[in-house]
């Protein structure tokens, strides 16, 4: 039986009620992306600084005819001698990763994504491609918040493709996304998981400063997560999670939208161990925070299940604490690891 994600659609249209959230039930699935590999091998290898864009790995999205990517990043992680290591790295333009480090003795590798430009501007396009091979474990985070400044006449965009192999683990824990006045941003993430792999991804959306101190001065935020599961018949759609906020089209602060709150947090989990009991436990955990939360499960497909948690609050730190508590519970129970303490500041 399929269910839908809480607050999956936050888009008023001409003042009318929002459209129904997407159905997580069966629907036709496009062919799984087949990215081109640049290099492979046991050691880290970097593309030449002057490498042509045509040689970069494909993201699985249609190429933009109007602009080339401002930044590109490709990372492939594999298990070698009990530790996860990068066996392919590529960067070009305004995206790169810092030197890998290990937070504990589990063998999980942590990479920090850096944008030297400091912010996303109008017509900027960023392309990220991540693959975690069988048995490997990756924690991917960012050096600082992703800031979206004014984008007059256009929008900034990030396209991300993720593939997880058999028994692979990925924790995606970026810093908050901050949308400033007159900003438009689109984030498209396509994820393909193996039925035995594990995915945990958390994100917080924060309104940026504006002269009148109002919270919703950005023009549009559109975040789309498409999650597919590998099966004998190819990749099959597990969940299509859409978040769309367009403040200029109507009041998004009221009931059915942001419910009087200004900040939004999301947690998406896909793992064979996800079930109703875990969903109930996480929901009880959220009640200890100053936030309004809802949680839904997807259908079970090829033995794995998805979970979507939405939380609304009036501060970034409160949502960070809530999501940290949820991910900390999963890290300890599933992986035997302590809660995250990235100590970036």
Least-confidence region, from 38-42, 128-132, 219-223: 38-42
Query: Pairing state of beta strands 220-231 and 83-93?
Result: unpaired
Residue 315 burial (10 A CB sphere; 0-12, 13-18, 19+): middle
| Residue 248 CB neighbour total at 10 angstroms | 12
Q: What is the pLDDT of residues 93-127, one digit of tens each?
A: 999 999 999 999 999 999 999 998 889 999 999 99
User: How confident is the model over 7-30, as pLDDT tens digits?
Assistant: 333 333 333 333 344 333 433 333
Pairwise CA distance, residues 136 & 168, whole Å: 5
- Location of structure tokens 């549009």: 220
Tell me the C-alpha distance between 208 and 168, whole Å: 36
Q: For residue 142, what is the enclosing H or E element?
A: strand 137-142
Q: Encoding tokens for residue 233?
A: 């018949």
Q: Where are the domains of the chain?
A: 119-335
Do the beta carbons of residue 242 and residue 22 sit within 8 Å? Answer: yes
pLDDT per position as a tens digit, 145-190: 999 999 998 999 999 999 999 999 999 999 999 999 999 999 999 9
55: left (phi over 0), alpha (psi -120 to 50) or beta: alpha
- What pLDDT sits at residue 344? 60
Tell which phi-psi region holds residue 247, choosing left (phi > 0), alpha (psi between -120 and 50) or beta. Answer: alpha
pLDDT of residue 44: 34
pLDDT (tens digit per residue) in 228-237: 999 888 999 9
pTM: 0.80
User: Does an H or E element contain 321, and which?
Assistant: helix 316-330
Based on its alpha-carbon atoms, the radius of gyration of the chain, rounded to whole angstroms, reads: 19
């Amino acid at each position: 039986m399929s269910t839908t994600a809480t607050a999956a659609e936050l888009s008023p249209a001409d003042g009318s009620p929002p459209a129904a959230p997407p159905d997580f039930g069966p629907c036709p699935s496009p062919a799984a992306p087949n990215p081109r590999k640049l290099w492979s091998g046991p050691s880290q290898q970097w593309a030449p600084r002057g490498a042509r864009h045509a040689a970069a790995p494909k993201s699985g999205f249609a190429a933009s005819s109007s602009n080339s990517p401002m930044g590109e990043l490709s990372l492939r992680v594999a298990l070698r001698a009990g530790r996860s290591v990068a066996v392919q790295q590529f960067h070009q333009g305004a995206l790169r990763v810092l030197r890998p480090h290990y937070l504990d003795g589990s063998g999980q590798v942590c990479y920090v994504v850096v944008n030297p430009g400091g912010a996303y501007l109008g017509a900027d396009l960023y392309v990220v491609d991540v693959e975690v091979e069988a048995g490997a474990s990756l924690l991917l985070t960012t050096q600082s918040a992703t800031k979206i400044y004014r984008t007059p006449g256009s929008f900034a965009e990030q396209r991300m493709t993720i593939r997880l192999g058999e028994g692979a683990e990925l924790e995606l824990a970026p810093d908050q996304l901050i949308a400033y006045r007159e900003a438009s941003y689109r984030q498209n993430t396509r994820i393909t998981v193996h039925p035995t792999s594990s995915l945990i991804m958390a994100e917080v959306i924060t309104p940026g400063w504006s002269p009148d101190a109002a919270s919703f001065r950005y023009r549009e935020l559109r975040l789309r997560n498409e999650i597919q599961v590998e099966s004998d018949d190819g990749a099959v759609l597990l969940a299509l999670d859409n978040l769309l906020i367009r403040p200029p089209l109507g009041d998004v602060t009221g009931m059915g939208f942001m419910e009087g709150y200004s900040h939004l947090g999301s947690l998406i989990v896909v793992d064979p161990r996800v079930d109703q009991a875990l969903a109930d436990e996480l929901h009880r955990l959220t009640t200890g925070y100053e936030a309004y939360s809802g949680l839904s499960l997807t259908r079970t497909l090829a033995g794995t299940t998805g979970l979507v948690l939405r939380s609304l609050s009036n501060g970034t730190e409160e949502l960070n604490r809530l999501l940290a508590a949820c991910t900390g519970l999963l890290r300890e129970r599933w992986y035997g690891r302590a809660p995250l303490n990235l100590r970036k500041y």
